[in-house]
Amino acid sequence: MVAYGKILVLTLNEQEEKVTNKIISAIADYIQIEPMQAAPAPVLSFPGLEIRQHQRRVLRDGKDVSLTRLEYNTLALLASNPDIVLTRTQIFEAVWNMDSDSCHSSVVNVICNLRKKIEPDSKNPVYIKTVLGVGYKFDVKNAGE
CATH at 116? 1.10.10.10
Domain of residue 92 covers 43-138
Is 87 a domain residue? yes
For the residues of 122-137, what is the DSSP string, one character each?
A: TTS-SSEEEETTTEEE
Is 35 a domain residue? no
Read off the pLDDT band of 103 (50, 70, 90): low
Number of domain units in the chain: 1
Is 32 a domain residue? no
**What pLDDT is recorded for position 1?**
46
Is 13 a domain residue? no
Q: Residue 25 pLDDT > 70, yes or no?
A: yes
Is 119 a domain residue? yes
Q: Residue 143 pLDDT > 70, yes or no?
A: no
47: left (phi over 0), alpha (psi -120 to 50) or beta: beta
- Measure the CA–CA gap between 145 and 140, rounded to whole angstroms: 10
